Structure 1
Amino acid sequence: MKILFVAQNFQMGGIQKALINTLKEVSLYKHYEIDVFTFAEGVLMKDIPPNVNVYTGNLLLQLIATPFAEVKKRKNVWHIMLRIFCMIVVRLIGSNNLYAILLKTHSNNRLYDIAISYFNDVPHSYFNQGTNLFVDKFVKANRKFAWIHTDPLKANFNYDVCVITYKNYDRLFCVSEACKQNLMHFLPQYKNKIQVIYNFFPIEEIKELAWQYTAFEKGTMDLLSIGRIENATKRFELILHLCKLLKEASISNFRWRILGNGPDLLQNKRLAFELGVDDVVEFIGVCHNPYPFIRQSDVLILTSAYEGYPMVVGEALILETPVITTSFAAAREQISDGQNGLITSGNVEDLYPVIASVIENADSLQTMKKFIEENQYTNQKAQEQLVWEFDAK
């Protein structure tokens, strides 16, 4: 069976990591021949299994599918000018038209059994687009699948665009049951196409990497948050306000580490200084192996406004680290409230007492760790879902 996955890039990110894990899983099945077409490369390219064939876009496609901050880091004036030119063009003719021009040159006559658009288009974005268009218009395949990694209602998907986009797809895969229900509510005419495939995790690899180095010297209470530092959805600025409240309550026997990079990193560093919490908050930046941090931390804390099926929660549970999370749509599909973690609303007023309580009562975290140890995380459900859909005739 010939399968094509189409990706925007392999930069560090949740969807990219989910794709790597999916490729590792499907590459184990001998009857699958797997191709990947990625518009642009990235640091995670090295993690693609060796038996997967990888094709990359031309220079212009690579430049528009790479975050501008990454392009600037290369200090190639010609590439920066080309990227700016593309930004001007897309404002004149629209994202769809620019992508259509570029993607047409990458089409070929190969017939696939399955073609998969693995990245959902980002609403209101100029450049985080294109995989749906490419699979729909420029790939020959017996069946076409689209993967949707977020809550379409919370992420403000455009109804009219989605109706057109998914018309020619045979399956729309959501990463959680909650997202499936929301997508069925959002696109009821496509409800028979909508199914769930949970994210995969390389469990043994994660456990091995978690012991690769010592991340930090253990303190009284070590808190951890991981993700793209982008406040609109991930809301990392809440952490700084929570730390201020904790310190005002004379709770300072903790260290809150934040892993990741993004457009709001500098702003959040400044806010930490202004609020006087830079002594308890540590911005680590990009970390290609975050697992030792997860393993050593007492609790992982997720402050997101919304999520699909966050990879970092599964990774924490694999490493037996309890999770405190906001009540995103699929939270209860990963967290059993009070057993392997705690679920709270997304506002500071509700997050604060929960976090203060676990800092002052470490025994509750030990009880959760014991539950996680006795209920090991597995990929069994995701494996059953994938094989059922991929091998269906």
Structure 2
Amino acid sequence: MKKVLFVINTMGYGGAEKALIELLKKLDPDQYEISLYVLLSQGELLSQIPSYVKLMNTNYSDASVLSDAGKQILKKNVIRQLFSNGAVFKNIPYLIRNLCSMAGRKKIQLDKLLWKVMADGAERFEETYDVAVAYLEGGSTYYVKKYVKAKQKAAFLHVDYAQAGYNRKLDEDCYLAFDRIFTVSEEVQKSFLCQYPECRNHTFIFHNIIDPDEIRRKAELDGGFEDSFDGYQILTVGRLTMQKAYEVAISAMEQIKKSGIPVRWYVLGEGELRKKLQAQIDAAGLTDDFRLLGVTENPYPFYRQCDLYVHATRFEGKSIAVQEAQILGCAILVSDTSGNREQLKNGVDGEMCSLDAGSIADAVIALLKDDKKRKRYGAAAAKRSLSENEKTFHNIQKLMGNE
């Protein structure tokens, strides 16, 4: 029986975390002894991992990393790890060097800067594994590279490497230590290999694993929109972060409202930009029209009930939210950006537009006025989703070093 360790940064409500849960469900406990280590020891999705997965964390909080209470717990975890194992002191030269580099590019990303410190301050284990898997960029990758003893090591990338703010100097060439590297889409692979061309022969595409039948089942349960609005309902699902470009969507909604179409835009997600985005919404007079609903345990009734799903983001790896919308037959509009391009064919199973308020507004208005087109896109999207998981078995065998 192979001993396998998965490492991820948190187990909060996010696409990569949900994909990891589905991957763990596919692993046979008679073949693999599976362990999981969560770098920041927090996240509400831990309760969804299979019972045969062993959690390695000494202390763990199931508080959401996005709730106010959860953020306080997360801050305490971060401060503790800054000083554990002398992590912050060991990394002073690294922090200064990369902070200066970020400042020179006028793009300081503290989370990217601190992941190495978090890895150095994390728990250590003496056990040797047959396979160790870093399931996310940043901290988990640094940790597996430096502190996990394993016969073989694998890493996953879920976002466009360069667009997300990573580079070889920041991660100190850590991917050279991995036997196999998996990207969730072709565009993520291309971006990564532009930075690490020497990894070309052992970098593979491993699409996110999702459970279409379970998604369809949950979509039929109670839930969804509760405000009795009888106009058009637009849905977006994703964390309230810079990557998702919600400030552009809010500006687009201002223009959409001027068209006179009865419409509301709903967002399922939480994040550090909530207060800033809500202030923009209120200032624009859209308090009733652009609604931040937070996180819900079952988002799928919203997908089933909405008239249009919009995913206008700055970049993606491969969005699970878009995949879920396809499974449930939504008409979909995405921005023409990295990651999104790979997920639908413009004019066939959805539409693309530029990431600016005017283009988004024009596309939304045109789609809301064309019921037949939306139905056609939804039917094509549902058909496309049927072939998404065909390579799962071979990908798992490759991940585990069985082929």
- Superposed, which structure 2 residues align to 1:2-151 within 5 Å? 2-26=3-27, 28=28, 30-39=30-39, 40-58=41-59, 69-72=68-71, 84=79, 93-94=90-91, 95=114, 98-99=117-118, 101-103=120-122, 105-108=123-126, 110-121=127-138, 129=139, 131-151=140-160
3-state SS, counterpart of residue 267 of structure 2: strand
In structure 2, what is the equivalent of residue 126 of structure 1?
none
Give deviations 1:172-223, integer Å, cap 9, x for gaps: 1111011111211121122222111000002211111112213124633210
- 2: distance between equivalents of 1:188 and 1:102? 31
- 2: distance between equivalents of 1:386 and 1:97? 28
Distance 1:272 1:211, change over 3 A: same
- Superposed, which structure 2 residues align to 1:216-365 within 5 Å? 216=225, 217=228, 219-230=230-241, 232-251=242-261, 253-365=262-374
Residue identity in the other structure for 1:223: I
In structure 2, what is the equivalent of residue 125 of structure 1?
none
Give deviations 1:15-71, integer Å, cap 9, x for gaps: 211211211222x47423221122313210111011222221447xx79x9679544
In structure 2, the gaps of 5 or more residues are 92-113
In structure 1, what is the equivalent of residue 223 of structure 2?
214
Residue identity in the other structure for 1:149: H
1:87: how far off? 5.9
1:331: how far off? 2.4
- Higher deviation after alignment, 174-183 or 156-165: 156-165
1:333: how far off? 2.8
- 2: distance between equivalents of 1:221 and 1:215? 14
TM-score (norm 1): 0.86
In structure 1, what is the equivalent of residue 207 of structure 2?
198
Distance 1:257 1:186, change over 3 A: same
In structure 2, what is the equivalent of residue 160 of structure 1?
169
1:386: how far off? 2.7
TM-score (norm 2): 0.84
- 1: distance between equivalents of 2:373 and 2:220? 25
- 2: distance between equivalents of 1:45 and 1:5? 13
Distance 1:374 1:144, change over 3 A: closer
- 2: distance between equivalents of 1:115 and 1:257? 39
Q: CA RMSD in A?
A: 2.7
3-state SS, counterpart of residue 334 of structure 1: coil
- Are 1:226 and 1:259, in contact at CA under 8 Å, matched by a contact in 2? yes
Give deviations 1:108-155, integer Å, cap 9, x for gaps: 2x332211011101xxxxxxx2x1232122222121001111001211
3-state SS, counterpart of residue 11 of structure 2: coil
Distance 1:161 1:193, change over 3 A: farther
In structure 1, what is the equivalent of residue 393 of structure 2?
383
- Are 1:226 and 1:312, in contact at CA under 8 Å, matched by a contact in 2? yes
- Are 1:294 and 1:300, in contact at CA under 8 Å, matched by a contact in 2? yes
Give deviations 1:220-244, integer Å, cap 9, x for gaps: 32100111112x2111111211111
- Are 1:163 and 1:187, in contact at CA under 8 Å, matched by a contact in 2? no
1:287: how far off? 1.1
- Are 2:193 and 2:199, in contact at CA under 8 Å, matched by a contact in 1? yes
In structure 1, the gaps of 5 or more residues are 122-128
- Are 1:25 and 1:200, in contact at CA under 8 Å, matched by a contact in 2? no
- 2: distance between equivalents of 1:80 and 1:159? 27
Give deviations 1:229-261, integer Å, cap 9, x for gaps: 12x21111112111111122323x111111111
- Are 2:184 and 2:318, in contact at CA under 8 Å, matched by a contact in 1? yes
Between Structure 1 and Structure 2, how many residues are aligned? 373
- 1: distance between equivalents of 2:329 and 2:213? 13
- 1: distance between equivalents of 2:393 and 2:356? 35
3-state SS, counterpart of residue 3 of structure 1: strand
3-state SS, counterpart of residue 166 of structure 1: helix
- Are 2:142 and 2:171, in contact at CA under 8 Å, matched by a contact in 1? no
- 2: distance between equivalents of 1:4 and 1:133? 14
Distance 1:328 1:9, change over 3 A: same
- Are 1:223 and 1:300, in contact at CA under 8 Å, matched by a contact in 2? yes
3-state SS, counterpart of residue 172 of structure 1: strand
1:340: how far off? 1.8
3-state SS, counterpart of residue 120 of structure 1: coil
Residue identity in the other structure for 2:314: A
- The share of aligned pairs that are identical, in percent, is 25
- Are 1:68 and 1:83, in contact at CA under 8 Å, matched by a contact in 2? no
- Are 2:82 and 2:121, in contact at CA under 8 Å, matched by a contact in 1? no
- 2: distance between equivalents of 1:134 and 1:338? 43
In structure 1, what is the equivalent of residue 105 of structure 2?
none
- Are 1:37 and 1:57, in contact at CA under 8 Å, matched by a contact in 2? no
